Structure 1
Amino acid sequence: MRKAVKVALAFVGLLVGAGFASGQETIQYFLAYGYWGIVGSILAGIVIVVVGTTLFQLGSYYLADDHSAVFKSVSRPVVSTFMDLSTMFTLFAIGFVMIAGAGSNLEQQFGFPTWVGAVIMTIALVASGFLDVDKLTNVISVITPFLILAVIGALVVTILNMPDHMSSLNELAMQNDPASGVFGNWFLSALNYAALCVLVGVSMILVIAGSQMNPREAGLGGLLGGIIFSVLLVTLAFVIFANMDGVFGADFPLLMVFDNMHPAVGLVVSIIIYLMVYNTAVGMFYAMARRMSAKHPERFRPIYFTVVGIGFALSFIGFAELVNWVYPVIGYLGMVLIVVMVYAWIKDRTLIQQETKRRERLAALAEKALDPDAKELTDSQREEVEELVSESHVEETQLWQSVQEEVAADLDADPASEFSLEDTPALNPESDEYEGAPESPADAPIDWEAYDEMYHTGSFPAVTPEEAEHAKRGAGGSNAAS
């Protein structure tokens, strides 16, 4: 359950920045339709729950390192390429929309020209190209729970001060301009928003899920995360609706809700939102530049700085205007992805269930193999391991190594276990001594002799470059180390 909660919080963090923090999305996609918009937010939440669960299970099943690996596995090349390009477009589009949002945030809160906030954000993004952004964004992601608490606090205040003129609020809400391209239909608008959220998060969803060995636990994390986000979405829609007379016309209606409560509260929330906008923007531009420079890593920074510069230029179109036309386009692209991925899950759900049971049994065997107080695996248990990994769609050595790495991390985190990752660098990807799984002989799926030594010493036996090359030739180059 601990892993599922961790996955759920990561899922919420992915969606909150681009589709939630400003409140502008909620206005255009839902509240422009009045009461029906509240119903639409519930519908969108249900779709996000279902699709989120599906994506997390698929990502775990394929042990995805990037989204393209899953796309290629579940669809034909043309469709896979379309989804890959759609994801790339989304990364860039959300990136420059976030720069525009940064400008609107500081304009609304402090009265600065919009270019000031955009310039500050762009400088921060450029500087991030020289930093360890993973660690930086992990720190800023801690802000997400504070925004969640703020929304809950706003709900409590709103309920305690409920307006007695809901019908007039409904009429005022419907004077807002709805998102373009959804034909003034609340039902289509809700589906478009859900698809937008899915496409914004799909790349990282699949990567996060790919680090989870158990598809069932990954799916549970997606389910919990989807429910949390959906509850927050409906809550946000209700809060902004009930405060419509005080937020009408604002680029950041959520921020205006807090400003109207107390200027000091608005100031704190504006900083939180600005940091979340940064977190989303740097994630989008960084992921795009990494993808574009995959074959030429040395070109990463020039590409990154270029896309950030283009994003800065496009941000002057205006935040509300960008949300109005960019988000619906992304939503329709996301609808295609949803259909493909949900169909793939339905088609392969039996295989996913079988693979889940297979990995759970492998995890039980790995726990025995790694437990310092347990006896070594018997010959029959080793044969069972070989049979299980040979039945999987994942390469044998990679699967057994990956299962052991996850079990090792769990044992290391368990205070009741005497196992320590410090003593077993062969199963610790963070260790400088980590080299992945050992080469296996051509006639065996797993090199048990190497694992025997690892179980006793914590490290695989030293292999000279000549021996490694000889083993690779003997295996026909098919069992590369993971």
Structure 2
Amino acid sequence: MKNAVKILQIAFTYIGTVVGAGFATGQEILQFFTRYGKLGILTILLATVLFIWLGTKMMLLANKIQAVSYEDLNRKLFGEKFGQALSLFTLIVLLGVNSVMLAGAGSVFNEHLGLNYQIGLWITLISTYLLLGRGISGIMKLNSIVVPMMIILSLAIIINTAGSPGASRFLTMDTDTGLFSAWASPLMYTAFNLSMAQAVLVPIGSHTRDRRAIIWGGVLGGAGVGFMLMAGHFALSANMPGISQFEIPMGSIAQQLGSVIQLIYILLIFMEIFSTFVSDIYGVTLQLRQRINVSPRLLSVMILCLCYITSQFGFSTLLSILYPMFGIFSLLWAALLATYNSKQITNHK
């Protein structure tokens, strides 16, 4: 029973780390999968296989070398100098993405709950600081609450969409985009999300004693991400092309289920952003503690202040500038992880 709970906690944390602002709103699903029409089903299946394989591999490697942070893993995988350079770039990436996440949280409060943008930012920052004191167990417990609710809501959206006139459109929808773009898209999507998720998947791998729990947690987590991708794609396809004009397309679909469900969905979007934000800040803190001799709480405050300053630029602006740059780096990182022979790693305690 204990093992089953551990497996589910790993799976839910994996899903919660990947399902951030762009995913929960529907924008990522729209841009990476739905815009490619009926090919979206096959590309989502490819992404699911990659999430299961590479996510599990990352956690197992972290467990084998007892990595303190993702920098330890990168150094072991790619050598001291290159691994250190990759980790430094990952740090910049995570800080940028965290700023985007924080800005997204502020936007949710402002646009959908009628609260001031700055109030939304401060609620997120203070809540993050309080949860960080609980460590990796606090992050896993948070995701164990949020992710099942998101899965239930995804099921409700699937049931609602199944009765709509456009329910079969995900099987027939054509696209003007080329095959290369369609098949490159899941590779880019998976690589980017896994390179970000290493901040929390590496500590999970090193803190989990039972390697079978890691394997099953990785399999369920990767499959869960695939399920939520497919659910979102199914609902978005049924509402194409009109749905693409909305900034939060999944919120618009949730509105069809009634105002109460829509409010729940908006709150869940915030919770998904929040869970990813907390996970990333935790991973960055672990890495910086290896470089800077400062107390964890002070370090967390410094990182949160930096994210607050950069979040003032706004959600859309940051997203358009940062994400394409990170995508190229992520592909390189994922390719190196995929081709690395895990037998080369010796036990290191």
Tell me, in whole angstroms, the C-alpha distance in 1 between the residues paired with 2:52 and 2:120.
Answer: 34
Q: What letter corresponds to residue 262 of structure 1 in structure 2?
A: G
Tell me, in whole angstroms, the C-alpha distance in 1 between the residues paired with 2:154 and 2:221.
Answer: 17
1:196 to 182, 192, 212: 192
The residue that corresponds to 1:311 in the other structure is 307
What is the Cα-based RMSD across aligned positions, in Å? 3.3
Return closer, same or farther for 1:262/1:151 CA change in 2, 3 Å cut-off.
Answer: same
**In the alignment, structure 1 residue 26 sits paired with structure 2 residue 22:** no
Q: What letter corresponds to residue 104 of structure 1 in structure 2?
A: S
Structure 1 position 118, deviation (Å): 3.5
Check whether the contact 2:136–2:204 (CA below 8 A) recurs between aligned residues.
no
Return closer, same or farther for 1:49/1:393 CA change in 2, 3 Å cut-off.
Answer: closer
Q: What letter corresponds to residue 348 of structure 1 in structure 2?
A: S
Check whether the contact 1:58–1:215 (CA below 8 A) recurs between aligned residues.
no
Structure 1 position 29, deviation (Å): 1.8
1:69 to 48, 69, 72: 72
Return closer, same or farther for 1:152/1:28 CA change in 2, 3 Å cut-off.
Answer: same
2:342 to 345, 348, 351: 348
Question: Normalising to structure 2: TM-score of the pair?
Answer: 0.84
The residue that corresponds to 2:92 in the other structure is 89
Tell me, in whole angstroms, the C-alpha distance in 2 between the residues paired with 1:248 and 1:318.
Answer: 21
Return closer, same or farther for 1:304/1:59 CA change in 2, 3 Å cut-off.
Answer: closer
Query: Could you say which structure has the greater relative contact order, defined with CA pairs below 8 angstroms and 6 or more residues apart?
Result: 2
- Equivalent residues, number: 344
The residue that corresponds to 1:410 in the other structure is none
Identity %: 21
The residue that corresponds to 1:282 in the other structure is 278
1:250 to 246, 250, 271: 246
Could you say what secondary structure the match of 1:251 adopts? coil
Check whether the contact 2:13–2:140 (CA below 8 A) recurs between aligned residues.
no
Tell me, in whole angstroms, the C-alpha distance in 2 between the residues paired with 1:155 and 1:330.
Answer: 32
Structure 1 position 21, deviation (Å): 1.7
**In the alignment, structure 1 residue 393 sits paired with structure 2 residue 342:** no
1:140 to 139, 142, 167: 142
1:238 to 220, 225, 234: 234
Structure 1 position 138, deviation (Å): 4.4
Tell me, in whole angstroms, the C-alpha distance in 2 between the residues paired with 1:251 and 1:105.
Answer: 11
Structure 1 position 301, deviation (Å): 4.5
Q: What letter corresponds to residue 69 of structure 1 in structure 2?
A: D
Tell me, in whole angstroms, the C-alpha distance in 2 between the residues paired with 1:106 and 1:337.
Answer: 34
The residue that corresponds to 1:226 in the other structure is 222
Structure 1 position 231, deviation (Å): 1.9
Could you say what secondary structure the match of 1:210 adopts? helix
Computing the radius of gyration over CA atoms, which structure comes out larger, 1 or 2? 1
Deviations 1:419-452 (CA, angstroms, capped at 9, x unpaired): xxxxxxxxxxxxxxxxxxxxxxxxxxxxxxxxxx
Return closer, same or farther for 1:64/1:277 CA change in 2, 3 Å cut-off.
Answer: same
Question: Normalising to structure 1: TM-score of the pair?
Answer: 0.63
Deviating above 6 A after TM superposition, structure 1's stretches of 4 or more consecutive aligned residues are none
Gaps of 5+ in 1: 353-391, 396-482
**In the alignment, structure 1 residue 118 sits paired with structure 2 residue 121:** yes
Structure 1 position 135, deviation (Å): 6.0
Could you say what secondary structure the match of 1:163 adopts? coil
Structure 1 position 16, deviation (Å): 1.9
Structure 1 position 341, deviation (Å): 1.9
Q: What letter corresponds to residue 60 of structure 1 in structure 2?
A: N
